[in-house]
Structure 1
Amino acid sequence: MNVRTNHVHIVVPPHAKGQDMLHDLKARATRKLREAGLIAAKQSVWTRSGSVSRLYGEASVAKAIKYTKHGQGPDLPEAQQPRL
């Protein structure tokens, strides 16, 4: 997982249903952000859609993990990383 200021990249196991996982991750993240007081109760956080890509083969999975971990630019400063 790589959380950026305006998007998130996550690689999940192949048995996960893409759109269901996307919905569940957004819901849990929103709940945690609200519990931490980082967003208001009625504040909209996410776009209605999101990108879900199926990965086929170990090479594709390895490439996606590498991109997720190392292809997003420099890490955010510690002060900008909320502790949830």
Structure 2
Amino acid sequence: MTYPIGRSGFNLGAVMIRPKKQIQAELHISGDYAKSFFGLLRQQKETVEQELGYWLEWEELTSRQGSRISVYLNDVDPEDESD
């Protein structure tokens, strides 16, 4: 599922990866300037992660016209509401 956030080319995404028992939340950046915007955000990586209090996956997706910044929750069963 993707959710627009009011800025062209930026979306929030939520993904369940059942075989790996993971849930992923991501900021997906697409469009002509995706790599530039991603680079600007990555320059602030330490500050962003420090303020959030956890590490992020910074994926430039060089084979595509887009990039994403993700966090994964591991060892969860998306079908189990108690997780």
Q: TM-score, length-normalised on structure 1?
A: 0.31
Structure with the bigger percentage of helix: 1
Q: Which has the higher strand share?
A: 2
